[in-house]
A and B are shown apart, each in its own frame.
Chain A
Amino acid sequence: MHKIIIESLSLQYSDGTESLRDVSFGIHQNAVTVLFGPAGGGKSTLLRCLNRLNDLAEVKASSGRILIDGENILDPKIDVIALRRKVGMVFARPVPLPMSIRDNVTYGLELAGEKRRAKLDEAVERSLTLAAIWDEVKDRLDTLAVALSGGQQQRVCLARVLALQPEIILLDEPTSGLDPISTGKVEAALQELKKEYTVVLVPHSVQQAGRTADHAAFFLQGELVEYGEGKSLFTAPKQKKTEDYVTGRFG
């Protein structure tokens, strides 16, 4: 079942670079969908359209529709704050806020007006567990989050997003700065997460795309070249360009 449907989405930034050209496809619920391709392909731009973070960039022109649960989220009238609580996002560089681990996780909830201590504590344990870091930090929740290692910080940032109980989780190269062990933990966490959430991932390598994808979309210079099941797209791509990229002939 499609959680998100993207209909002929085009977007152009003010500096003249065209970032997306007539992109259409559907993103499945309870699956990991991978957007991959060389840099400048429009993957991050698409990701940032899904939670309207692009509202704050210098966008010149955009057209098309993005439907989440049948509602067009590009409609200027929708509640963007509510949308961003429903569609969480994890960035390439972990940006823990300068506060304790616990406060980092509860921050989004507090912004949303949740004050009950029991609720907050429960959210901390649940989301840190889901992000596969509870065991590592449960005894020091009151230490500063910035004191953690990069891999742990990134999982705390993931937990921070999960605490809001979103329906969709966007990840923009979440493991680009991490060591292989931390990367493995994040990837394993994603496989758990997809049971409850819809996961959209921009991986930092083709190998990661291959490891994690249930569905994969290959982007090249703003165009969607190929979209399909992860297994078939990486083993038997239909397009020549996809094959060349996947096999490492360019990129």
Chain B
Amino acid sequence: MEKSLTWREFIVTRAIQASGYSAIVFVALIFFFLLREGAPALTDVKLSTLFSARWYPIEDYFGVLPLITGSLVVTIGAMLIAFPLGIGTAVYISEIAPRWIREILKPLVELLGGLPSVVLGFLGILLVSPFLRVFLNLPTGLTAFTGSLLLGGIAVPTIVSVAEDALDAVPRSYREGAWALGATRWQTIWYVTLPAAKSGVLTAVMLGVGRAIGETMTVMMVTGNAPVLATALGSWFAPARTMTATIAAEMGEVANGSAHYHVLFFIGIVLFLISLGVNVAASSVVFRAKKRAERILS
């Protein structure tokens, strides 16, 4: 009896440990695989070609810059839309809305987060892009801006849900302290609640960025997929092609082991590094904020 119990304990502990470590192992394996398949791109293709502005793989033009700028334009645009909207919604749900509205809104936002991105892309093609074409008088409605709009819509639920949790975790006593001093509701939110929830709100935004930059299906459907180097603000209202869409569209038809194949994996590495960068930046900011708070409170 005694012995079987310690055995069970041992197995359970090890199993949990293994599942914890598996996350690290998988990330390492993915990175290793990407590196193995993507690194040859640097020898297969001349660096000057790789970092040129022309992507036309059939004739061996493998310039990835238009794809990188495409991703950046679409993502930055999406964040410009999602950031105020997401934080605003989170503040409304957590600080202003009466209880019954909150109880309707929260599950609705989470439902929105679970919406398959194909569905959103579908709506984008059928509704948003024809509307934009007419409304903004563009030659085509399939632009980076259309992608930004829909990606913003995808990122908003992530931002709302994380930021709302962070705002909710701010102790009631902070708000009461401000109210009792005669602060208005807005002054309390702006000067007390939001600063106190700063690190959580930041995490929310970073997760939103991660969600937006990695999104594939929607952007592939609505951005027009023209690999044009973004140089000016006007590029936002022209077709663009993102890194994710390129990989998704071309990976299925590429000859295994060809230069094109390696370059697609190389794009994967770039994407991986960008998300890694975003995550590291987010956690270091959060970490620093926490350290400061600990120093102050100790």
Query: Interface residues, chain A, CB within 8 Å of chain B?
Result: 51, 53, 56, 58, 81-82, 84-85, 88-89, 91, 93, 95, 97-98, 107-108, 111-112, 144, 146-147, 157, 160-161, 164
Contact = CB atoms under 8 A, between A and B. Distances in A.
Contacts of A81: 182-184
A91 B175 CA distance: 12
A84 B181 contact: yes
A140 to B, nearest CB: 15
A147 B296 contact: yes
Contacts of A95: 171, 173-174, 176-177
A91 B177 contact: yes
A10 to B, nearest CB: 22
Given A91-B173, A98-B195, A111-B187, A84 B296 contact: no
A53 B179 contact: yes
B276 to A, nearest CB: 32
Q: At the interface, is chain B mostly helix, strand, loop or mixed?
A: helix
A108 B177 CA distance: 10
A89 B180 contact: yes
A56 B178 CA distance: 13
B174 A107 contact: no
A214 B180 CA distance: 25
Contact of B182 (A58, A98, A112): A112
A82 B177 CA distance: 15
Contacts of A160: 181
B99 interface: yes
A151 B231 CA distance: 60
B179 A107 contact: no
25 contacts: A53-B179, A56-B175, A56-B179, A58-B99, A84-B179, A84-B181, A84-B182, A85-B182, A88-B180, A89-B180, A95-B171, A95-B174, A95-B176, A95-B177, A97-B177, A97-B192, A98-B196, A107-B181, A108-B183, A111-B183, A111-B184, A147-B296, A157-B177, A161-B181, A164-B182
Given A58-B99, A97-B192, A108 B181 contact: yes
B23 interface: no
A97 B181 CA distance: 12
Contacts of A98: 195-196, 296
Interface string B158-195: 00000000000001011111111111100100001001
Given A91-B176, A97-B192, A146-B297, 8 more contacts: A56-B176, A81-B184, A82-B182, A84-B182, A89-B180, A95-B176, A108-B181, A147-B296
Contacts of B297: 146
